Amino acid sequence: MSEGQLNGKVALITGGASGIGRATALLFAQEGASVAIVDLNQQSGRAVVEEIACNGGRAMFEPGDVARAGDCQRIVQRTMGELGGIHVIFNNAGIIRRTTVLELNEEDWDRVMAVNVKSIFLMSRQVIPIMEKAGGGSIINMASGWGLAGGPKAAVYCASKGAVVLLTKAMAIDHGPQSIRVNCICPGDTDTTMLRDEAQQLGEPTERFLTESARRPLGRVGKPGEIAQAALYLASDAASFVTGTALVVDGGGLAGS
């Protein structure tokens, strides 16, 4: 493959088997990175690795639950052993539950907070010493527009993504002296399986739900590849002076907030 913006870098992407994670894995590989993909869906994860390999890239897949400390340690150790370093981590894994506080059960609260927030803590705790030893790195966390403004029937999701935004800023302060940049992306509604799952959770027809989601200045929902481009920017040297930021990529959805 020709040299790209991430030539010679190793990137670890959680939730990399589908949606935004998959699009980012393909783009990072296209830009010269070796990519470690983490997901619970082994069939889809291995399919992404095969697709990258068919295009001349280098990738590996490691199954794991990033809300478990032992899995995070194993994932990082295997990535180091097989790819030789970690220069970029995209903490992209996430889930959503569309309910109010009154409708939400304790198990779902705990699981959303574990996958969306705790996983960032667990994975970052593993990779920061590696990045520090290497002289720096880029940590990208997946937040949401609903981490900056509230939304209906999404109490725990909004809480988790708001936590990601401030966790990102706190980490940027703590680890800037080691040349580790920490940023998050706040997408608007993006055309993924998770968006369609929201319609099902709310009991709404999918097409009507997608039409409502497109009501923003640009008049449409986002594409996974468009969010991947934001991740590429934050991972690359083009963002060498960018840390502690929450990059909104939402077609103008929050412009009037």
Q: Which residues contact 127 (CB under 8 A, 6 or more apart)?
A: 12, 76, 86, 89, 137, 139
Residue 4 lies in a domain: no
Round to whole Å and give the CA distance between 76 and 71: 9
pLDDT computed for residue 257 by the predictor? 83
Mean pLDDT by runs of 10 across the 257 residues of the chain is 85 98 98 98 98 97 98 98 98 97 98 98 98 98 98 98 98 98 98 94 94 96 98 98 98 94
* Same domain for 142 and 237: yes
Q: Is 62 buried (19+), middle (13-18) or exposed (0-12) by CB count in 10 A?
A: buried
Classify 182 as helix, strand or coil: strand
Round to whole Å and give the CA distance between 24 and 165: 20
70 C-beta neighbours (distance < 10 Å), count: 10
Buried-exposed string 124-145: b where 16+ CB fall within 10 A, e elsewhere: bebbbebbeeeeebbbbbbbbb
* Same domain for 212 and 96: no
Dig out the tokens for 31 from the structure.
Answer: 């830009």
* Same domain for 237 and 112: yes
pLDDT computed for residue 131 by the predictor? 98
* Same domain for 181 and 67: yes
* Same domain for 163 and 68: yes
* Same domain for 175 and 91: yes
Structural domain count of the chain: 2
* Same domain for 35 and 112: yes
Residue 252 lies in a domain: no
* Same domain for 105 and 204: no
pLDDT computed for residue 3 by the predictor? 75
Round to whole Å and give the CA distance between 222 and 230: 12
Look up the CATH number of the domain holding residue 56.
3.40.50.720
Residue 132 lies in a domain: yes
pLDDT computed for residue 255 by the predictor? 96
Residue 232's alpha-carbon distances to 40, 54, 99, 117, 226, in angstroms, are: 23, 21, 33, 22, 10
Q: Which residue has the tokens 């068919």?
A: 54
Boundaries of domain holding 213: 191-221
Residue 205 lies in a domain: yes
Amino acid at 143: A
Residue 75 lies in a domain: yes
* Same domain for 214 and 230: no
Residue 254 lies in a domain: no
* Same domain for 82 and 17: yes
pLDDT computed for residue 1 by the predictor? 42
Dig out the tokens for 241 from the structure.
Answer: 């002076």
Active site residues: 157
Round to whole Å and give the CA distance between 76 and 83: 10
User: Do 145 and 188 form a contact (C-beta atoms < 8 A)?
Assistant: yes
